Structure 1
């Protein structure tokens, strides 16, 4: 399951794949539980996480949406490389059957301002997250589209992972309570302003207020043409609310009440003359 000891607890490295078919799990999360230590795997499931600042009793969590997580204790990390295989959940998807004309209901922050929030350089920002609380009195609602306005995207392409979470008491949020049943990745491109993601195929119906958030998982440029960072920023709207941020997978959200919050919104519709059934 690995090679002889070579890192002496300073790094946790290896590859993460599906236990049934050995396919890599791109951008799987690896982090020290409750601490700002960790990161994500690359597009082929390979990871290299610096755990030098973790205590010997700290727990390392390896997770991927739709799969059972695995944990390691730092003091037991004795190999230079691990091949980690995660077991998939048996997915049960809701089937939503629509009949008749749908009335679109927009929830969230739709109008961008000249302000923005965002990330720094590519390497330090993979796995970082920005999100906003979305409140509505119209539930239940089916999610149709997610939209986000970028203030700047100077990379040729950036890949995001979408998160939809229940809004907890006192505006708390927990990534372990993900409402999506599988990873939703999408790309934004150089110079693009509005990013549009079709969610209708995921058949997600919300019954409560939510947090919608995006996680930066990858970015590409054809060539490094300058020394300074490329910009990636999300416009903020002139709407007071709660901003959610996080640097590594296993740390808790930082929650701030601000006058300007990320320009992210959802196009939804009422169930109306529809039925929801389990497959």
Structure 2
């Protein structure tokens, strides 16, 4: 009888471990407890993730094979927060509070010579578009990035430009990210400023004014465009323009791994003063 009970308990534990874990909750600021929208939530490097909505709320279904992993919360301007999934109770909504990050500004030397306005990146487009990568989580992001070479020249960022196309949406929400180059891939964020804008998705070039953010860089960086899909939206509703040649960088989930593709590059560039 004793062994039968132990055997039953063993099989029950296997059944529990084999179930997906549904987590939901809200992300708030630690100071003031205000809702934090568009926070990236995920298991780093595992392509399991989502984002908070405009009210800071989220739902994430964690596959059973990731039950022993760590869940990370990442928001621009805030310290990253990490939680062991096995210590989270799915029975009640989570409330995650993020601490503001102390940001030290890097000094960039501005030379006295007359500055020139330049376009850096991929300014052309061929009849080639990319749809979003396939993903199991409807609320999750997808993101593409271009390597921008400034060649150690102090550069004041004026604007960012991308080619978007959609037959279903008039507009969509995007976030512009600037990443440090790390082993040839996008690494940590270079700028702790939230650049979120609703852009027209009717086929054509779109522009994001970067001057209000006073961005000065003197190192090569990755320019990323991150699609923040609305709840219930078709994630294949928006495509981005591309050009043959070069290398493409993309990821299909929050805090997920970056993939590379040789032979095409994102139609995206920045205008700078150098």
Fold agreement, TM-score > 0.5: yes
Return closer, same or farther for 1:35/1:229 CA change in 2, 3 Å cut-off. closer
1:52 aligns with 2:63: yes
* Structure 2 Cα separation of the partners of residues 195 and 98 of structure 1: 31
1:1-279 → structure 2 map (5 Å cutoff): 10-78=21-89, 79-93=91-105, 102-119=115-132, 124=138, 126-137=140-151, 139-152=153-166, 154-169=168-183, 171-174=184-187, 177-219=188-230, 231-238=237-244, 240-258=245-263, 260-270=264-274
* Structure 2 Cα separation of the partners of residues 135 and 187 of structure 1: 27
The answer (yes or no) to whether the contact 1:156–1:220 under 8 Å persists in 2 is no
* Structure 2 Cα separation of the partners of residues 236 and 197 of structure 1: 18
Shift of 1:173: 2.1
Deviations 1:245-278 (A, max 9, x none): 11122222112222x21110000112xxxxxxxx
Return closer, same or farther for 1:105/1:15 CA change in 2, 3 Å cut-off. same
Deviations 1:214-258 (A, max 9, x none): 11113489xx9xxx87631111124x2221111122222112222
Deviations 1:77-109 (A, max 9, x none): 114211111111134446888989641011000
Which ranges of structure 2 fall in alignment gaps of 5 or more residues? 1-18
The answer (yes or no) to whether the contact 2:171–2:202 under 8 Å persists in 1 is no
* Structure 1 Cα separation of the partners of residues 128 and 30 of structure 2: 45
140-149 vs 242-251, which moves further: 242-251
Counting matched residue pairs gives: 253
Shift of 1:53: 3.0
Which ranges of structure 1 fall in alignment gaps of 5 or more residues? 1-7, 271-279
For the aligned residue pairs, the C-alpha RMSD in angstroms reads 2.8
The answer (yes or no) to whether the contact 1:173–1:211 under 8 Å persists in 2 is yes
Return closer, same or farther for 1:51/1:220 CA change in 2, 3 Å cut-off. closer
The 3-state SS of whatever aligns with 1:114 is coil
The answer (yes or no) to whether the contact 1:141–1:269 under 8 Å persists in 2 is yes
The answer (yes or no) to whether the contact 1:25–1:45 under 8 Å persists in 2 is yes
The 3-state SS of whatever aligns with 1:75 is helix
91-100 vs 109-118, which moves further: 91-100
The answer (yes or no) to whether the contact 1:161–1:185 under 8 Å persists in 2 is yes
Q: TM-score, normalization: structure 1?
A: 0.81
- Hey, what does 2:12 align to over in structure 1? none
Return closer, same or farther for 1:153/1:137 CA change in 2, 3 Å cut-off. farther
Return closer, same or farther for 1:232/1:9 CA change in 2, 3 Å cut-off. closer
